[in-house]
Structure 1
Amino acid sequence: MVQLIVFVGVLPFWWLVARPGRDRWAGLGVLGGWAAGSAVLAAAYPRVSWELAFAALPVSVLIVARLRDPERPRSWPFRVLVVLTVVLGLVSVPLLLSEQNPAEPPAGVVLPLPEGLVATEGYGGGDCGTDVCSTFVAVGGRPGQTPDDLLAETRRHLSGRGFAEECRRTGLLLDRRELCALATMHEDQVLIRLQSVRGEGF
């Protein structure tokens, strides 16, 4: 979403500073390719989504700077674009360095389950406070499967999803929140508790 907004915002500036003709369309393709590629990468690797969103505008400006027509008299649009980039960067830095509130963790980080296991998303509802937000997923076993075996299989599944130590950092650098997954027995089911934990500020 951020990449699309940046692409649409940069487009008028590019149109004013680009070489007319084929070069203008080629540059448009490069900008569109960067926006689409970074959006797909963010969807495939959520841990770098904040970094890609933060880089969307600076990289777009670098593309415009590299491909624009230096002989065109209307250079003011490029200057305005650079100023806007600097201002937005200065405004966003304090936000990135401050404490980061938790968000409701998506059940998709542990789903789908191994074949034969049954999941109930939103089991018992969720809760969200100042420091922690939680989501619950109930796991039902196969016919005849013992509770201990179900619990062990669920914990192996969580380990394979990156929760070998129960908690992991949500992002790579900028998103400092933690995402935790804990499997415990609840009656005849295993209950997975997903928690998003507040990220500390610098």
Structure 2
Amino acid sequence: MESGAEILLKSVKEICPDITDDELFVFASKLTIEELNKKDFFVPINKVQKAIGFIANGLVRSSFIDNDGNEITVGFYAKGDYATHYPAFITQQPSKYSIQCLEPTTMVCISYENLQWIYENLSGFEKYGRLVAEEILKRQQARIESFIFQTAEERYLDFIKCHSDLFNRISVSHLCSFLGIERQSLTRIRQKLAHK
């Protein structure tokens, strides 16, 4: 079975085939592995995220607390994703979001300081960092636009299409929170789709 670091290195090579084996070797030397249990926090709310985490195995959820004290889910991240509140990470400011494990999770971590060192010393990783940042930005933009341009039903159908592998791994309450709908609304949507 592949180690967490091997899973990340393979992902790096897929995204940036030009990165040399020497660069990968140095990059690998800067990584640490964190084994987290279900319900553990990778990033607690209002804390500075010291390291970015690549999920080698497991599932995490990002959320925040609204003004009424409700916990709002903003994202689910599974194997192959980076777990981060990226703007807070790159500015090293406290995050308004928490990142919590929904399953036992293996996180391959790189500290903020090591990441800066890698960008300065391993030229191939600048492109990799840009591509990862662009992917994070695209996802965030898609989420914002889903609330502007889509109905709740369309958001639900999109979630099924794009995240079918997560469907049985998350709770209904977390899904409703992520979609921005009440549980009764989700029940109605499911009933309606079942009769189509």
- Provide the TM-score with structure 1 as the length reference: 0.34
- Provide the TM-score with structure 2 as the length reference: 0.35
Greater per-residue strand proportion: 2
